[in-house]
Structure 1
C-alpha cells in the first residue's frame, strides 16, 4: 500500500513538473524586443488600470496648460511691443502762459509786456540715437522670444524624460511580475518534489527567498512610478494625484548625426547660444548709444503771443542740451556699456563651452546605450533565455539542480531589466540633446 502511494506521489510530481515546465516554456516564449511596434499591436498584459497614454498627448497637454510657458510667451509679446515706442520721438510739449498787470488775468491795453503765450515744443534726440534705442529694444525682444523657445524645448525634454522613465518602470514591473509567476511555478514543483522525497527543503527556501526579493522590487518600482507621475503632473500643471495612465509603446529613435554635426547644429540653432548672441548685439548697440550721448539733444519750439490792442507776436525757439559734465555722466556710462559688452561676450563663450560639454556627455551616453541595446537584444537576452530553457530540460532529466535553475531565471530577469534600462537611457539622452541643439531628435 505504501509503495502504491509512493508511485501515486511520483506520478503527481511528474505531472506537475510537466505542467510547470509547459507554463515556463510559454512564458519564455515572450520576446524582449525593441519597442518598434505600435500599441495597437501590443499583446502584453495590462499592468495598471487606466487608459494608455501617448507621448504626444502628454506633450500637447503640457504646451496647453503649463503656466511658465504662457508667461514666457507673454513676456516675449510685451518685449516686442516695446520696439516701436523705443524708436518714436518723445511726446511734444504744449505750454500756455498768461502775463498781465494788476487786472490779471485780463490783458492790459497798450502794455507791451501783457499777453497770452501759446508754445508747442518738440524734443529731437541727436541723429542715430532713436535708431539705436530701437535696435536695443529689438534685441531684447529677440532674447525674450528665444527664451520662450528654449522654455518650450526644455519643457518637452523634461516631459519626454519623465515619460521614458515611466515606460521603463512599467516594463520593469511587467517583467518582474511575469518572472514572479515563473518562480511561483518553480516553487510549487520544488515543494512537490520535496514532499515526494525527490528534492530538498533548501530548494523550497531558496525559491521563497527569490519570490520575496521580487515582491520587494515590485514595491520599490511602484513607489518609483508614483514619484514619476507626480513629477509629470507638476510639468502638466495638474494635481499630483491625477492619473497619468500606462505609457504606450513607442518607436526607438535613431541618432543619425555625428558628434561634430550636433555641435554645429548647436552653434547655429541652439536658442541658448542664439540668446547670448542677441545679448551681445544689444550690448554693442548700447556702447554705440553711450558714445552718442556725448552729442547734444535738441528741442524745437514755436510760440504765439496774443496781446490786447496790439499786434500779436510769433516766436521760434531752438534748445540744445550741452553735455558739459561728460566726465561725471557720459564717460562712466560708456565704461559701463563696454563692461556689459565684455560680460555678454564672456557669457557667450561660457555658454558655448557648457553646451558643448553637455552635448558630448549626452552623445556618449546615447551611443553607449545603443550598443548595449543591440548587445542585449541580439545576444545576451536570447542566450540567457536558452540557458534557462536548457536548465529546465536538465532539471526535468535530473541532471541540473534546482539552485542552478533559479540562478538562470534570476540572470534572465536581470538582463531583461538591463535591456529596458539601456533603452531608457538612450531615449533620455536624445531628449536631453534636443534643447541643446535646438531641434527634435525623438518622436
Structure 2
C-alpha cells in the first residue's frame, strides 16, 4: 500500500516532501496547476490511492494546509473541513437585524436600565398582576355595601265580579319597599377582608416586579457572557492560527515536529467546534431575554455593556433584618392571614339572624261606607331570618377556621423557605465575588505571563509546543471563568434583592 505521508512516529526524519522555500509566485518547472490536468477529480482520487497519474510528481511540496490535511486521520480531516465550511454560516448567524431593533427602540449597546424599563412597561406577567390588583381594589366597596333595596307593586283586594277599585274600601294600589340588613358586623368584616385581599394583590405585584427584575438582570448578564465568550473564543482562534503558522513554518524548515502541527490543528478544530456552541448560547440567551421583554421572537439583541459590578456586599444579618421588614412575599401572606381571619368572623356572624325591613303605601279611592273616607294606607313590617339549622353554620365556621390555619401555615412555610433561599443565594453571591477577585487579579495575569513566556521560549526552541498549547488553553479558560464569575455575581445579587424585597445597589 502506498504511504500517505511521513509517519507520525518519525520525529527526527526530515519530511520526504521538504524543499527549500520558494517565493509564493514561483513554481517548479514541469509542475502543473490543477486547471491544466485533464481530469482533476481522477487526479485527486489517484493521489489518495497512491497512484502516480499524469501531472503529479512525488517530492514536490504542496501548500502547508494540504500537507497537514493529507497526513491527518480522515475523521480529523473531515472535522476541520466541516468547521471551515461552516464559518460563513456562523458569520451570517451572528448578523443583527437593525430594522427590527430600531422598530422596538433597542439601543445599539444593550444596557440593563433599558431592559428593566422595557420589562416594567411590557412584561405580560406584570400586566397580569397589575390587572389583578386593580380588580381587587374594586371589590372593596361592594363587599361593605348593603344589598339593593327591593320595590314591589300590588293591585290589592280587587273584587272578581267587576274588577273595580271603587267597589270596596279595601281595594287599592299597593306600593312597597324592602331592605335587607345583615347582622351587625358582617358588612364591616367583609369590607376588611376585601381590603386585605387588595393589599395582598398589591404586594403580589411588587413581589413580581422584583422577581421579573431579577430574571431580566440574570438573562441580561447571561447574554453578555454569551457575547463575551464568543469574542474570547474568536480571539483565541486567531491566536491559535498564529501558533499553527509558527508550527508549520518550523516544521517546513525541519525545526519542528509533525505532531506539533497536528496538535495545533486539532486544538483549532476544537475551538471552531466550540464556537458553534457559543453562537447557539448567544441565540438562547437572546430568546430568554426577548421573552421577558415581550419582544418578537425574531428580534436580535446587541451586545451588552460591561458586566463588571463592584457594588459592596451586605452582611447576611443585614439581609435577614431587611427581609423581615421589607419582603413583599411575607407582607402578602400576612394580608392573606388577615383576610382569612376576617372571613372567619363573617362566617360566625352570618349564623345570627338578619333582617328585612319593609314599608308599604296603598293608594285608595273613596267609596260609600268608607269610615276613613278614602284615605290612603301606610304599612311597615320586619322579616327575620331564623338560622335554625346550626350544623350548617357551624360547618361554615369550621371551614373558615381551617382556611385561616392554612394561611398561617403558608406564612411559616414561606418564611422558612425564604430564609433558606436567602442564605443559599448569599453564599452564591460571596462565591462569585471571591472568584472575580481571584481570577481577575491573580489567575488571568499569571496565565498571560505564562503564555508570553512560553511563546517566546517556543520560538527559540526552548519550550515544547504542547506546553505552548496548554498555556493558551489555560488563558482561554481563565478569561471565560472571569466573565462567568461576573455574570454569576450579577445573577446572585439580583436574586438576593428579590428575596429581600428592595434594591441594594
What CA distance in whole angstroms lies between the structure 2 residues aligned with 1:104 and 1:228? Answer: 88
Question: Does 1:236 find its partner at 2:293?
Answer: yes
Q: Secondary structure at the match of 1:52?
A: coil
Bigger Cα displacement from structure 2, 306-315 vs 217-226: 306-315
Task: For 1:62-77, list aligned pairs within 5 A.
Answer: 62-77=119-134
How much has 1:196 moved relative to structure 2? 0.6
* Residue 295 (structure 1) aligned with residue 359 (structure 2): no
Tell me what 1:313 maps to.
Answer: 377
Residue of 103, 108, 112 corresponding to 2:166: 108
Cα distance in structure 2, aligned partners of 1:6 and 1:97: 123
Q: Secondary structure at the match of 1:60?
A: helix
Contact 2:307/2:487 (8 A) holds in 1: no
1:102-158 CA-partner distances (Å, limit 9, x unpaired): 26753133x243222111111112111111010011111112222222222222211
| Mapped pair 1:420 → 2:486 | no
Higher RCO structure, 1 or 2 (CA under 8 Å, sep 6+): 1
CA deviations on 1:165-185 (whole Å, 9 max, x unpaired) are 111111111111111111111
Scaled by the length of structure 2, what TM-score is found? 0.76
The answer to whether the Cα contact below 8 Å between 2:226 and 2:285 also exists between their aligned partners in 1 is no
1:181-214 CA-partner distances (Å, limit 9, x unpaired): 1111111111111111111111111111111111
Alignment partner of 1:171 out of 221, 228, 238: 228
Aligned-residue Cα RMSD (Å) equals 1.9
Structure 1 position 276, deviation (Å): 0.9
Q: Is the 8 A contact 1:116 1:306 kept in 2?
A: yes
Question: What's the offset of the Cα at 1:431?
Answer: 1.6
4+ long deviations beyond 6 Å = 5-9
Structure 1 residue 398 corresponds to structure 2 residue 461:
yes
1:335 aligns with 2:398: yes
- In the other structure, the counterpart of 2:430 is 367
**1:350 is matched with which residue: 413, 418, 423?**
413
TM-score of the superposition, structure 1-length normalised? 0.86
Q: Measure the CA separation in 1 of the matches of 2:261 and 2:336.
A: 70
**Counterpart for residue 377 of structure 1:** 440
Tell whether the 8 Å contact from 1:166 to 1:228 is kept in structure 2 after alignment.
yes
**Which residue, out of 163, 178, 181, partners 2:238?**
181
In 1, Cα distance between the equivalents of 2:137 and 2:476? Answer: 56
Deviations 1:36-76 (A, max 9, x none): xxxxxxxxxxx865622111222222222222221221111
**Compared with structure 1, are the counterparts of its residues 61 and 103 closer, same or farther at alpha carbon in structure 2 (3 Å cutoff)?**
farther
Question: Does the 8 Å contact 1:253/1:427 carry over to 2?
Answer: no
Does the residue aligned with 2:390 lie in a helix, a strand or coil? coil
Q: Match for residue 431 of structure 1?
A: 494
Larger radius of gyration: 2
In structure 1, C-alpha distance between the alignment counterparts of 2:319 and 2:95, rounded to whole Å: 39
Shift of 1:260: 2.1
Q: Deviations over 1:268-308 (max 9, x none)?
A: 22222111111000001111111212321122221111222
Higher-helix-fraction structure: 1
In 2, Cα distance between equivalents of 1:177 and 1:60: 32
Higher mean C-alpha deviation, range 61-70 or range 166-175: 61-70
Offset from partner CA, 1:221-276 (integer Å, 9 cap, x none): 10111111112222222221111111122440524321122222222222221111
Alpha-carbon distance in 1 for matches of 2:273, 2:358: 86
Number of positions where the alignment pairs a residue of Structure 1 with one of Structure 2: 399
SS at match of 1:63: helix
**In 2: Cα distance, 1:180 partner to 1:146 partner:** 51
Distance 2:303 2:356 in 1: 70
Matched-pair contact (CA < 8 Å) for 1:162–1:232:
yes
